[in-house]
Amino acid sequence: MPWDAVSLNDGTVMPSIAFGTWKIGNGQGPIDQVEQALSVGFEHVDTAQAYGNEAEAGQALKESGLARDEIFVTTKYSGRDGLDIETSIHNSLKNLGLKYVDLYLIHHPRLAVPDIPTAWAQMEKIKADGLVKTIGVSNFEVKDLAILLAHAKVKPVVNQILLHPYVYARQIPILEYCKANDIVVEAYSSLIPITQLPGGAVDKPVNQIAARLGAKPEQILMAWAKAKGAVVVTTSSKKERLQGYIAAGDLQLTPKDILDIDVAGAVGAHRLTAKTVLRRVAGLALITAGVLALCSYSGVDVI
């Protein structure tokens, strides 16, 4: 299955792989990188106040010649300079050179000031004012989303979170909570097992699956995140790698491939004793069983 667009809970249609602009700096470099991503088929750009390069992303969008409705733009409220949400979105739109963004996120629950319900009401207002087409959150845990949903008039459409095999077990509760509440999960930093934690337990199944499918390890990790139901937010400075990311949408992992990666993720990135390995794998099974039982008890269908 390719990177089919996903329908969000308010009917918005969003491309399911995004090119992110975190850490790619300022100046001509990021303009070229965003243009390169668009040229290989990315239709979704993910930026943020905090990345400091909304202007470069906007310049690239302009230079691409794409019509506004051919590109999906996400930016985030990062609480920059202590400014409120309404002032910040006006500044972001000015930086990006756009009249609206497709998706606006609260970057982290700690930025929802003075509290989550008040900040979310401001998000609802800028949506009603047409400055953003749709609204969501990032890095929200179950307790944060529960507060938000108890007060919201408009549900968040997405929750953008850290998701890779080494954090999968601890992210199961938020993944299941989002699924039960029709909130799409966006996965960022899914390639951490390669970029920051090489040599860990995940390498073996990922490399074996990659060899079997004639694919690159980074493609397997993306296919794994996709198999978890997530939209993938990634980046690369290299055209060939970006083309590989797009091609990863066609990879088919088997249930065993996914389980092998889950189990290796639970084992962890560092050398462990057999007892710790067993404890972690049992923990993964327990969390999964607990979440499923809770959902079944609440009458929520998560399968």
Ligand X SMILES: NC(=O)c1ccc[n+]([C@@H]2O[C@H](COP(=O)([O-])OP(=O)(O)OC[C@H]3O[C@@H](n4cnc5c(N)ncnc54)[C@H](OP(=O)(O)O)[C@@H]3O)[C@@H](O)[C@H]2O)c1
Instruction: Report the interface residues with ligand X, using CB under 6 A.
Output: 20-22, 46, 107, 138-139, 160, 188-192, 194-195, 217-218, 233-238, 241
Give the residue from 296, 279, 171 showing the smallest Cα distance to 228.
171
For residue 45, what are the β-bridge partners?
Answer: 19, 73
Residue with smallest beta-carbon separation from ligand X: 20
For the chain, what's the residue count?
303
**CB 122, min distance to ligand X, A:** 19
Contact criterion met (CB below 8 Å) for 156 and 184:
no
Q: Which of 51, 166, 188, 245 is catalytic?
A: 51
Give the residue from 59, 1, 78, 244 showing the smallest Cα distance to 45.
59
**CB 189, min distance to ligand X, A:** 3
Q: 270 labelled as ligand-binding?
A: no
Q: Is 51 a catalytic residue?
A: yes
Q: Which two tokens stand for residue 253?
A: 């992992």
97 vs 198 by CB, closer to ligand X: 198
Is residue 99 classed as helix, strand or coil in its secondary structure? coil
**CB 187, min distance to ligand X, A:** 9
Contact criterion met (CB below 8 Å) for 160 and 135:
no
CA 24, distance to chain mean position in Å, is 17
How many other CB atoms are there within 10 angstroms of residue 124's CB atom?
A: 13
With tokens 């609260």, the residue in question is: 106
**CB 295, min distance to ligand X, A:** 26
121 vs 167 by CB, closer to ligand X: 167
27 vs 290 by CB, closer to ligand X: 27
59 vs 160 by CB, closer to ligand X: 160
With tokens 């969000």, the residue in question is: 8
What's the one-letter identity of residue 149?
Answer: L
Show binding-site residues for substrate.
107
| Residues annotated within a binding site | 107
Q: Which residues are catalytic?
A: 51
